[in-house]
Structure 1
Amino acid sequence: MKRIIGAAAAVAALAIPTMPAHAADSTTTTVTRGMQIVGYDRSVATAHGYTIKTDSEGHEYSVKNGSVQPNTSVTDPGDCGSSTATITHIGNHQATVSTGFVLSGIDGFAVDYNWNLSVLDNWGQTPHHWGGGLATRRSWSSQPFNFKSAGAGPAWAIVESGSSYAILIDGGVCYSAGPAAEDYID
């Protein structure tokens, strides 16, 4: 009888699914940084009923045609939105990665964008690019994608600040400050 119970226990143990050791270590890191108007696209501004002017100190600003006041989204330089980078360790030397932005201000609607994110680890760099028309949207986010590392170690999802931006309806070019999210991939 003891042999049957022992054999039954062994079979039952084989039937119980076990979680991989790394599942408990699953983590998500999201970093958010601001976005800043760094210039204007005059053709976009004109196409949407705005004029780009220059004040007495040489700073450009956007004005809705027929209005005498500058747009509030441009009078607060450095405050046109926020951008994020997210990395989630999922085990087996893998992570999911995503990125995006949310715009602010009265005229914080994007008509176009160019976005670059690189995933770096001890074995190299994997660039990702998105871009194109947005039909006046306040936000954009990538679909999460899988990243496979060659081995265990730190990995970073980095929005490239010099080439990641949204072009606003008033012509403002709103650049990301380049958030970088880090996680340990094993």
Structure 2
Amino acid sequence: MTMNRKPARIAVIVSSALALALGVLGGPSAAFAAPLPGTTHETQMGMHATGFDEAVAKAHGYRIVTYANGDQQSVPIDPQSKLPKSLIVHPQPAKSAAGPERQARPAAANTDYNEVWGNCGRSWIRVAQTGTDQVGIVSGFSNTPTIAYFWIWDVLLSDQNGTSHQTYDGAIFDDKATHVWLGLTQHGYTYDYVYNGGATLIDGTICVSGHPDVSIYL
């Protein structure tokens, strides 16, 4: 992973904008809350685009345009530029065609893996037992439409003793990112998942993680 060399001030702005976007969207409790009467309720399963960060877009030669139907897109400021346009973000994005969120794959030993896909790529998580009542968690994303500039990740761990959060954030310059948490204590049946997370792409697109989940018995 190549670290971005842009000024730290911009990274702080991006972090704040992404955190605000994730805060507005909320965690799983908000995502699955009952819709208000007369509203359309849609659930995004995989990593998906929710909007744009105009400051990041401008810093990388893009501007955000809004079409007559309310759709938004990040496009090059210079019409002669060869920079690619972003994906189009709809006011109410259609549900991802990735299928059910739970797509666990069989794995060796005491470990579990899951991934979810959306129009912003793949978000994933793996848990593995590393010792007596000890686990390691590795999670991240990949296959974003263009290079990501900053990311924030929050994994929730739960077991018979309660819950805890493992978090990470940082600047990047890649279409993928991974972080490892080691030395975590869990007991009995575990249920761990990406509680909240996202990445800001260089064209300003804000991608939100989705909630891949894993479970093992210790």
Q: CA deviation at 1:72?
A: 5.4
- Mark the runs of 5 or more structure 1 residues left unpaired by the alignment: 1-32
Q: Is structure 2 residue 87 aligned with structure 1 residue 74?
A: yes
Structure 2 letter corresponding to 1:181: V
In structure 1, how many angstroms separate the alpha carbons of the residues matched to 2:60 and 2:85? 16
For 1:170, what is the secondary structure of its paired residue? Answer: coil
- How does 1:1-186 map onto structure 2 within 5 Å? 34-67=46-79, 71=84, 73-75=86-88, 78-105=118-145, 108-134=146-172, 136-149=173-186, 151=187, 153-161=188-196, 164-185=197-218
CA distance in 2, matches of 1:138, 1:158: 21
State the superposition RMSD in angstroms.
2.2
One-letter amino acid of the counterpart of residue 75, structure 1: I
How far has the Cα of 1:67 moved from its partner?
3.4
- How many residue pairs get aligned? The number is 146
Give the TM-score normalised by structure 1: 0.71
Equivalent position SS for 1:184:
coil
Secondary structure in structure 2 of the residue aligned to 1:183:
coil
Change (3 A) 1:67 1:34: farther
**1:146: how far off?**
2.5
Q: What secondary structure is seen at the aligned counterpart in 1 of 2:55?
A: helix
Q: Greater Rg, structure 1 or structure 2?
A: 1
Q: Is the 1:73–1:80 contact (alpha carbons within 8 Å) kept by the matching residues of 2?
A: no
Distance 1:103 1:67 in 2: 26
Which of the pair is proportionally richer in strand?
1
- Unpaired runs of 5+ residues, structure 2, are 1-44, 94-117
Q: Match for 1:122: what amino acid?
A: Q
Give the residue type in structure 2 aligned to 1:35: M
CA shift, 1:62, in A, is 0.6
**Deviation at residue 125 of structure 1 after TM alignment:** 1.0
CA distance in 2, matches of 1:168, 1:128: 23
